[in-house]
Amino acid sequence: MAGGYMGKILFANLSTGEIKEETPDEKLYRDFIGGYGIGARILFSRQKAGVDPLGPENILGLVTGPLTGSPAPMGCRYIAVAKSPLTGGWGDANSGGDFGPYLKFSGYDAVFFNGIADKPVYLFIDNGKAELRDAAHLWGKDSYETEDMLKAEHGRQSQVSCIGQSGEKLSLISCIITKRGAAAGRSGLGAVMGSKKLKAVVARGDQPVPIADIETANRLRREHIAELRTAQFRGHPFWEQRKKYGTGGHADESAHSGDTPVKNWGGVGVVDFPDPSGLRGDLVIANKDRGESCWHCPLGCQAILKEGKGEYNYPAGTRRPEYETLGSFGTMCLNDNAESVAMANHICNAYGLDTISAGATVAFAIECYENGLITREDTGGIELRWGNHRAIIAMTEKLAKREGLGDILADGVKVAAEKIGRGAEEYAVHIGGQELGMHDPKLSRAGTPSAARYQMAPTPGRHTQGFGPSGFRGNVVNAAGLCTFGYNNVDPNKYIVGFLSSVTGWERSIDELLKCGERIANIRHVFNLREGINPQEWKVNPRILGTSPQTEGPLKGITADLETQVKDNLKALDWDLVTTRPSKKKLLELGLDDVVEVLYP
Amino acid sequence: MIKCVVEMFGLPRQVTEVRGVEVGLNDGASLGDVIAALRHEIPALEGPVIRAGEDRLLEHYAFNVNGSFYFADGDVQLKDGDFVLLLTLPTGG
């Protein structure tokens, strides 16, 4: 077996309790690398089309990459995969923390679950041995309590990935949490875990990740860190900025630059949110206790807050909110109160909610309220107005607990709009059911498919994934188990090629690796096609594109040219311009012969 | 001689507290010429947004010209009445 891989994958049937390990053929690793590459390959092979995402036949996977737990800086990530209950198509969610490396140290590259347990369980993996254990004492607990209890039971060196109450209650915007706030956020996979009555996965072990050429890997690590330390970002040292603020150092600026969507995608920063200074970086970090990092990250871009002492009494240990959360609960809601966003972050992390979707859903609810579609009676007395941070927090709590209107909101804007009716659909900004990341695609570099990626990526609405050939390298980075923050500001090809070669022992050029990235793009996409999803048919809320352009601000007059972006990239991918089906020739070129049999019967 | 309005958003507006400025340029002026004009009209931009002593933007700033985005070295020849925005590029996570 190549370096970087433990060479074993666990499969747990929660209905029968059977757990078995498999030793995959090396070809699987070589062709699909890891993460959602391997995840999509396995799900496409072992799961038929049309299964209920919350039913026993949906397979949930937690999948690492070859660089997870390796000397590669930021090699810490794992990806959760399953059919998404939020979109009905391919679902994946990428998480940092320590869990990914420890899954490997426990002896496995990945663990997959099918079936549904009779009663709540958790999987305990201990140095090559795995068993399902009773989770009755954990069910109903939030993610913090769950992690604390399991670490108390299994030791501080065990790492926990779990759901909070929102996943237990099958909120379609719930997520999987580790380390009190490293979230596998998108695609509603917390609900998949909850539907299986799987509360947590605990990984403990000390098995080393084999490294083919440790000397080269360590040398590259030193060079990479040295280069990252001198990289520039917006005129300032990248390292210093990230370490100090994380991604949340510029939420105020982005509210005006056209980057962050404003007022539920319907506003203009300089007009509707004239003073976002309450979200500036210094205020976001004002209550910082200490820095925090994912496993062995040399940078450490996260932070832990002290107990909130003002109006918002979030507990000590709450994570500092990042840009996406500041965007969704801040600018999208016209909320300039940074402490309230920290509180929202705590609620989402504890209950296990995706902060992007949750904040966007609250913004949607505000717009419904402001336009009379819902009333104070519906909100339980909450005056859900733009910028009313107390109301935003109160409604977020209701959403997390599925109380009152929160029960309607807990499944995201698409479902909420359907239930509210009365024209609420106009305010539901999503694609395929998933709310969008906090980057307006109208603010884009010429020639990049920034709008197209939201519609056409296998998990729609994702700001971290590409569409078309420009997304292939990102697929390699993600599948390898790397954090993109470490590879956007240095020579990516040198380090991606270098680390993958030195760790695995497989000498591959960037072109060969990009071919893997292309293969991964195709297998994830054909999962959707097999489900009957053609992403071109997903409705795109006109606010996203600026169909009626804004008349003021940096995005004045701009309509994103979605059609051209999509068409150009479909051609480049060799996917049909109408059906988006990859050509037979392309699938055979990528070695996806079994997919040809499905798509070209 | 042409006139272009350069409007600023995000950090460029924050550091200067100036919303925008009209600059006079030669026909067919480039974005480098715009930067030179801005250095003259709004010296506070030099350092935080414009490289000190140069007619170049710092990384991660870009111009939007009539709705299309360009970096400072983009191949653009400006015309009278062109609308130019100076922006920070997308950041965040």
Would an 8 Å CB–CB cutoff place B49 in contact with chain A? Answer: yes
What's the pLDDT score for residue A512? 96
Residue A581 forms part of a structural domain? no
| One domain, residues A413 and A305 | yes
**Alpha-carbon gap: A323 to the closest alpha carbon of chain B (Å):** 5
Tell me if B14 and A253 make a contact (CB, 8 A cut-off).
yes
Confidence of residue B49 (pLDDT cuts 50, 70, 90): confident
A97-117: pLDDT as tens digits: 999 999 999 999 999 999 999
A532-556 average pLDDT score: 94
CATH of the domain at A276: 1.10.569.10
What's the pLDDT score for residue A235? 54
What's the pLDDT score for residue B93? 67
A220-242 average pLDDT score: 82
Domain boundary among A393, A427, A461: A427
| One domain, residues A16 and A160 | yes
Residue A269 forms part of a structural domain? yes
- Give ipTM to 2 decimals: 0.72
Would an 8 Å CB–CB cutoff place B13 in contact with chain A? Answer: yes
Which range of residues forms the domain containing residue A175? 9-204
Confidence of residue B58 (pLDDT cuts 50, 70, 90): confident
Q: Which of B68, B69, B91 sits opposite A234 (nearest CB)?
A: B91
Residue A90 forms part of a structural domain? yes
Average of per-residue pLDDT values in chain A: 95
| One domain, residues A180 and A96 | yes
Confidence of residue A448 (pLDDT cuts 50, 70, 90): low
Tell me if B60 and A553 make a contact (CB, 8 A cut-off).
no
Confidence of residue A551 (pLDDT cuts 50, 70, 90): very high
A457-485: pLDDT as tens digits: 999 999 888 899 989 999 999 999 999 98
What is the domain count for chain A? 2
Other beta carbons less than 10 A from residue A307's beta carbon = 12
- Lowest-pLDDT range of A224-238, A296-310, A344-358: A224-238
Which domains occur in chain B, in start order? 2-88 (3.10.20.30)
Residue A559 forms part of a structural domain? no
Interface test with A, best of B8, B9, B46 (most A CBs within 10 A): B9
Question: Higher-confidence residue: B55 or A523?
Answer: A523
What's the pLDDT score for residue A234? 55
A143-189: pLDDT as tens digits: 999 999 999 999 989 999 999 999 999 999 999 999 999 999 999 99
| DSSP labels, A397-463 | HHHHHT-THHHHHTTHHHHHHHHH-TTGGGG---BTTBPPPS--TTS--TT--HHHHHHHSSSTT-S
Chain B residues within an 8 Å CB radius of A248: 92
| One domain, residues A121 and A69 | yes
Domain boundary among A389, A408, A427: A427
| One domain, residues A129 and A253 | no
Chain A residues within 8 angstroms (CB to CB) of chain B: 232-235, 246-248, 250-251, 253-254, 256-260, 269-270, 322-324, 327, 438-439, 443-446, 464, 485, 553-554, 557-558
Chain A residues within an 8 Å CB radius of B13: 256
Q: What is the CA radius of gyration of chain B?
A: 12
Residue A16 forms part of a structural domain? yes
What's the pLDDT score for residue A446? 45
Say yes or no to pLDDT of A444 above 80: no
What's the pLDDT score for residue A120? 98
Residue A454 forms part of a structural domain? no
Question: Higher-confidence residue: A559 or A289?
Answer: A289
**CA–CA separation, A148 and A160 (whole Å):** 9
Tell me if B88 and A250 make a contact (CB, 8 A cut-off).
yes
Find residue A60's DSSP bridge partners: A113
Confidence of residue A514 (pLDDT cuts 50, 70, 90): very high
Please list, in sequence order, all residues whose beta carbon lies within 8 angstroms of the beta carbon of residue A360, skipping any fewer than 6 positions away: A264, A328, A332, A413, A429, A430, A435, A436
A312-331: pLDDT as tens digits: 999 999 999 999 999 999 99
Q: Which of B9, B60, B68 sits opposite A234 (nearest CB)?
A: B60
A120-130 average pLDDT score: 98
A213-237 average pLDDT score: 86
Residue A542 forms part of a structural domain? no
pTM score: 0.94
Residue A594 forms part of a structural domain? no
Strands (E), B10-92: 20-25, 61-65, 68-70, 83-88
